[in-house]
Amino acid sequence: MDFIYQLINGLQVGSIYALVALGYTMVYGIAKLINFAHGDIIMVGAYIALLAVGSMNLNIWVALLVSVVFCVILGVLIERVAYKPLRNSSRMSALITAIGMSLFLENLFLLIFSSNKRPFPNSFSGVAFSIGDKPISFNTLLTITISLVLMFVLWFFVQKTKIGKAMRAVSEDTAAAQLMGININTTISVTFAIGSGLAAVASVFYSSTYPLVDPYMGVMLGLKAFIAAVLGGIGSIPGAILGGVIMGIAESLTKGYISSTLADAVVFGILILVLLFKPSGLLGKNVKEKV
């Protein structure tokens, strides 16, 4: 019973990692950019939801929608202002810009809200069911369910819709896609919008699980989600989901059976082992480059 309990907790945390990892892997797959500011969009989403619930007295679901809309606009704005001018520059320039954007968001919210941690209201409280004497919260069940639904919707969008097919075409060959009449700018903007929207959803459920919000909350969560994307194979949507779930379960089992202080070490150790034997990640493709 205890193993099943830890497994469900791992699926909850893994679902959050997977939602965030999808943003990393989609942007890298299409724009060939590691968006290190993505973790801070989670932080922004949490603060917007907190303001909507606390200051505006909105329902948590309305606050979630407000957070998603704000983060979608922010994600597109960041891409247009910071990344688009560097699209034809070296990857190092884009990487430095991403780190700079991350620091800008952190310090901006530090200036506005200070470094004090703010409590996030647990709007999804209550027990959904119990496994033996261990209660499974409504928040846990809701996080897993909504994450699975969003992952399916994303898969359907990418596989079946016109813009989704355009995204896959740009991911395969940008120049060829442009010759076929695909608008590269729109496709990349949509990718950033989707990734930022998923990050906003993840931020609300993460803040409900760990109910303290501060300007640096997205740093470790973003790092773990990026590792999940690399673990599954960066650029692969199924890989990001698989990597997030593996990380969440490994972290939960380590905390439950070994030590909570070793949880991060075990997760990073799994990544190292996978990359030693399969550098492209679990579901990634080996890409040969001509020299």
User: Length of the chain, please?
Assistant: 291
pLDDT of residue 13: 93
What residue segments make up the domains of the chain, in order of their start? 2-277
Query: Residue 37: what residue type?
Result: A
pLDDT of residue 287: 55
Report helix angle 263-277 to 217-232, nearest 10.
30
Give kind and range of the element (H or E) at residue 212: strand 212-213
Q: Point out the least confidently predicted range of 15-19, 75-79, 226-230, 259-263.
A: 259-263
What is the reported pTM?
0.91
Average pLDDT (116-134) is 81
pLDDT of residue 291: 45
Closest of 193, 47, 40, 44 to residue 102, by C-alpha: 40
Share of residues in the chain with pLDDT > 70 (%): 98
Share of residues in the chain with pLDDT > 90 (%): 53
From CA 26, how far away is CA 20, in angstroms rounded? 10
DSSP-assigned letters across all residues of 76-93? HHHIIIIIGGGTTS-HHH
Q: How many CB atoms lie within 10 A of CB 290?
A: 3
Residue 94 has pLDDT above 80, yes or no: yes
Average pLDDT (74-92) is 89
Query: Residue 69: what residue type?
Result: V
Look at residue 182 and give its three-state secondary structure: coil
Return the half-sphere exposure (C-beta side, CA atoms, 13 A cut-off) of residue 38. Answer: 34
Task: Quickly count helices (H) and strands (E) in the chain.
Answer: 11, 4
Residue 277 has pLDDT above 50, yes or no: yes
Average pLDDT (71-86) is 93
Query: Residue 28: what residue type?
Result: Y
pLDDT of residue 290: 47
CATH topology assigned to domain 2-277? ABC transporter involved in vitamin B12 uptake, BtuC (1.10.3470)
Mean pLDDT taken over the chain: 89
Average pLDDT (114-142) is 83
Q: Who has greater pLDDT, 283 or 41? A: 41
Give kind and range of the element (H or E) at residue 231: helix 217-232
Specify the residue for token string 């097919």: 165
